[in-house]
């Protein structure tokens, strides 16, 4: 759009909708301007009507409410059929529709009902929106204890601006780490954590903080389950344990078949009852059969072919249910090298090209691929301070190991010394 001085304006034109009305008895089309005090429809086809027409913001909720009120204000609403068009289309649509009606047969006129806005359609849409909104959110925003939130440095506006409030109200953890203020009286500190909401034993909605753990603790039983070596590798490498295990409720003692995944942001282990696992009927255009749904419900990975991407291209990928995300996720090739899938695909087990955002040099990659230790510098921490150290890559779990000192050299020395001692005996 150009301004008076000829320069381009970045301001967007706000498009609104308007209503057209077809009077059944006279077979005339006009632009709706409103309803008078007697409940009679004000409709006109003159040039002036284009300025005074009834306008609606382009939002379903607002249109549904206004149209429903408008319809019930009419004295004889059944005398008309209504059509919603954009304000820019109104003038031409009136002409086209009038020409169509003047020349159409009765059967052809009946077809216009498919495009009309009826009160039945509007009420059905209102009920659907109300139902889906209720299903969409598990908690109301008024239930949140905003006083407690303020104590950890958060407000409703701040959570909304970060895009974190919606996931909280849906009953999920925030999808990102959030700076949380911890006030211990004498010391105030800030830590990064994920947040969630949960109703406590007395029915009050609590804010729960999930701080970052340095690593998963596999040494202690997890709700009665002792992790095998394979369990640990799957959780560290892929994020999902990949099988149903029996967990014991700490209070009731109930044995609960469950899946377990790792929160990749905090290293929390997240259980979910197997009977609460929900598998979609269709994934990217592919309808799952019963065996495929059973595979995913048991937590196992599933290779699916000929899925349809957003760009309209076909692709193949492995998917698996993640209890932390509460949905079926796509697994990247680097995470599925040890899944033993029934497919002809083979994935590289080479060292990744980057470490903590720094691209590795060729000689570093070669040393790491051989299982050797490589020196690395030029790394930058969160505060912008540079640091360096030593790097090793464990191909078994496809994970980097970093140390400021070459601890593996000392281990290697000790190992060699022990071998020499054994040979001398």
Do 159 and 49 lie in a common domain? no
Do 304 and 231 lie in a common domain? yes
Does residue 314 lie in a domain region? yes
The gap from C-alpha 33 to its chain's centroid, in whole angstroms, comes to: 42
Do 51 and 27 lie in a common domain? yes
Last residue of a domain, one of 134, 149, 181: 134
- What pLDDT is recorded for position 14? 57
Does residue 11 lie in a domain region? no
What domain count does the chain have?
4
Do 24 and 74 lie in a common domain? yes
- What pLDDT is recorded for position 40? 86
| Cα(405)–Cα(392) distance, integer angstroms | 12
Parallel/antiparallel/unpaired status of strands 255-262 and 55-57: unpaired
Does residue 6 lie in a domain region? no
pTM value > 0.85: no
Residues with Cβ within 8 Å of 351's Cβ and at least 6 positions away in sequence, in order, are 360, 365, 368, 369, 393
Does residue 9 lie in a domain region? no
- Residue 188: domain span: 141-211
| Cα(322)–Cα(135) distance, integer angstroms | 21
Residues of the chain with pLDDT under 70: 1-15, 46-53, 57-62, 126-135, 332-350, 396-397, 409-425
Does residue 348 lie in a domain region? no
Does residue 166 lie in a domain region? yes
Does residue 288 lie in a domain region? yes
Q: Tell me the HSE value of 396 on the side-chain side, using a 13 A CA sphere.
A: 6
- What pLDDT is recorded for position 273? 93
Do 70 and 129 lie in a common domain? yes
Last residue of a domain, one of 211, 229, 264: 211
- What pLDDT is recorded for position 132? 60
- What pLDDT is recorded for position 137? 80
Do 207 and 224 lie in a common domain? no
Does residue 122 lie in a domain region? yes
| Cα(42)–Cα(342) distance, integer angstroms | 68
**What distances in angstroms separate CA 317 from CA 141, 330, 337, 406, one per listed residue?**
38, 7, 13, 39
Angle at which helices 119-136 and 60-73 cross, to 10°: 140
Do 202 and 242 lie in a common domain? no
> Alpha helices of 28-140 — where are they, by DSSP H?
49-52, 60-73, 90-103, 106-110, 119-136
- What pLDDT is recorded for position 274? 94
Do 195 and 120 lie in a common domain? no
- What pLDDT is recorded for position 134? 55
Do 48 and 68 lie in a common domain? yes
Do 239 and 190 lie in a common domain? no
Do 126 and 159 lie in a common domain? no
Do 265 and 325 lie in a common domain? yes
Last residue of a domain, one of 90, 111, 134: 134
């Amino acid at each position: 759009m150009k301004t008076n001085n000829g320069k381009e304006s970045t301001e967007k034109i706000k498009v609104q909708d308007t209503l057209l009305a077809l009077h059944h008895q006279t077979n005339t089309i006009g632009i709706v301007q409103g309803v008078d005090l007697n409940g009679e429809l004000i409709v006109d086809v003159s040039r002036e009507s284009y300025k005074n027409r009834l306008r609606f913001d382009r939002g379903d909720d607002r249109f549904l409410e206004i149209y429903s009120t408008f319809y019930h204000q009419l004295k004889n609403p059944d005398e008309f059929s209504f059509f919603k068009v954009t304000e820019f289309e109104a003038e031409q649509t009136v002409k086209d529709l009038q020409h169509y009606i003047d020349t159409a047969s009765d059967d052809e006129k009946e077809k216009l009902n498919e495009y009309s806005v009826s009160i039945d359609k509007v009420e059905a849409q209102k009920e659907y929106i109300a139902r889906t909104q209720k299903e969409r959110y598990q908690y109301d925003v008024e239930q949140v204890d905003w006083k407690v939130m303020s104590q950890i440095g958060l407000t409703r506006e701040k959570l909304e601006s970060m895009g974190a409030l919606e996931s909280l109200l849906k009953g999920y953890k925030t999808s990102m780490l959030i700076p949380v203020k911890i006030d211990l009286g004498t010391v105030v500190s800030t830590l990064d954590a994920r947040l969630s909401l949960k109703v406590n034993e007395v029915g009050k909605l609590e804010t729960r903080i999930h701080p970052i753990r340095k690593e998963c603790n596999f040494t202690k039983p997890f709700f009665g389950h002792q992790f095998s070596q394979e369990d640990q590798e799957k959780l560290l490498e892929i994020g999902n344990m990949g099988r149903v295990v029996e967990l014991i409720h700490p209070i009731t003692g109930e044995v609960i078949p469950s899946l377990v995944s790792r929160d990749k942001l905090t290293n929390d282990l997240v259980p979910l009852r197997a009977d609460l696992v929900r598998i979609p009927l269709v994934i990217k255009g592919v309808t799952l059969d019963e065996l495929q749904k059973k595979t995913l419900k048991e937590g196992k990975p599933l290779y699916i072919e000929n899925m349809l991407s957003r760009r309209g291209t076909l692709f193949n990928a492995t998917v698996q249910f993640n209890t932390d995300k509460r949905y079926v996720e796509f697994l990247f090739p680097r995470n599925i090298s040890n899944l033993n899938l029934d497919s002809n695909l083979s994935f590289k087990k080479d060292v990744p090209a980057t470490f903590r955002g720094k691209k590795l040099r060729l000689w570093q990659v070669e040393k790491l691929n051989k299982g050797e230790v490589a020196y690395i510098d030029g790394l930058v921490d969160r505060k912008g301070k540079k640091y360096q150290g030593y790097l090793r890559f464990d191909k078994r779990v496809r994970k980097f190991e970093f140390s400021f000192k070459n601890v593996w050299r000392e281990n290697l020395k000790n190992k060699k010394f022990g071998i020499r001692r054994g040979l001398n005996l």
